[in-house]
Amino acid sequence: MHKIIHADNELSCLHKTMGEIPVSWPPNVRKTVWAARQTLQNGNRSDSGDIQVVTFADSHYPEQLRHISCPPAALYFRGDLSIVTTGLQLAVVGSRKPPAQAVTALNRLMPEGLPDQTTIISGLAAGIDSHAHRSASMAGIRTAAVLGHGHGSCYPAENRNLKKDLERKELVLSEYPPNIKPERWMFPERNRIISGLADAVLVVSAAARSGSLITAEIALEQGREVFAVPGSYAEPSMEGCNELIRDGAGLISKPIHLSEELEACLRRKSCLTN
């Protein structure tokens, strides 16, 4: 969808009437664009009341997203948007059915390996995503969830309570209007926002072909740092992590490794902003 919306590098499609939106566009894309247009007409207020909206044209739109390929035209959010615009942002991604060694590694790395004012960004999926959000929240670490659908849905449904908790205490955001239901094509598009908001991406578990590796590839294209947790060669869901390390990703096997890498990220970020 974002490639269609940003084809002319403008937000002009959001100002089209439903009849002006090309019928050649997929039905779900037309519906999403139309819903976003209605939100803009409402003065960036969502019909869902407590959901706030920030568009690319707004001054408080996350600066780091402005510079990625195909930035989202609008972000619908509940919670505190400032947690992804201040401090350091670390995206944590991994498989939906992670091995015990990956969960153990994540438990060791958080919170000991994180500098102050770090925000953990993930996708509220089952597995590593959910574990990262819960572990961060329980440890008093800021965390933000990026949805692959509108706020009116929750996928997987088992994370409904976690989603509500993050909306109340942290941040949940999406590029899709609230009434847009989840579809498979939305989740890969969501990954560019996860990595785009982050200063670095940590891959905790990944098979040789997985969405986590796609996120890592997007992160590299966006100029983000990529780190990976090594795993047993006999564990298929760690094979992708080992491949990333072989290809040059930072190896993270101890909290000190992560803290050193993130402190270096902070120094580079400070130099760029000063």
Asked if the model's pLDDT at residue 106 lies above 90, the reply is: yes
Question: Is 152:167 a contact under the CB 8 Å cutoff?
Answer: no
Whether the bond between 156 and the residue before it is cis, its omega within 30 degrees of 0, is yes
Cα–Cα distances (Å) from 203 to 42, 98, 164, 192, 200, in that order, read 39, 11, 25, 15, 10
**Quick one: fold of 81-273?**
Rossmann fold (3.40.50)
Cα–Cα distances (Å) from 146 to 107, 138, 202, 250, in that order, read 21, 19, 16, 24
Sign of the alpha-carbon dihedral angle for 72, 73, 78, 81: positive
CA 78 from centroid of its chain's CA atoms: 15
β-pairing, 52-55 vs 74-79, is: antiparallel
What residue segments make up the domains of the chain, in order of their start? 2-77, 81-273
pLDDT tens-digit map of 134-172: 999 999 999 999 999 999 999 999 999 999 999 999 999
According to the model, what pLDDT value does residue 26 have?
55
Quickly state the pLDDT bin for 5 (edges 50, 70, 90). Answer: very low
What integer is the mean pLDDT of 8-14? 43
pLDDT tens-digit map of 56-100: 878 999 999 999 988 888 899 999 999 999 999 999 999 999 999
Structure tokens at 2: 């974002």
CA geometry: angle 263, 143, 229, nearest 5 deg:
55
pLDDT tens-digit map of 113-133: 999 999 999 999 999 999 999
Question: Is 271:97 a contact under the CB 8 Å cutoff?
Answer: no
Question: What is d(CA 211, CA 41) in angstroms, rounded to the nearest whole number?
Answer: 35
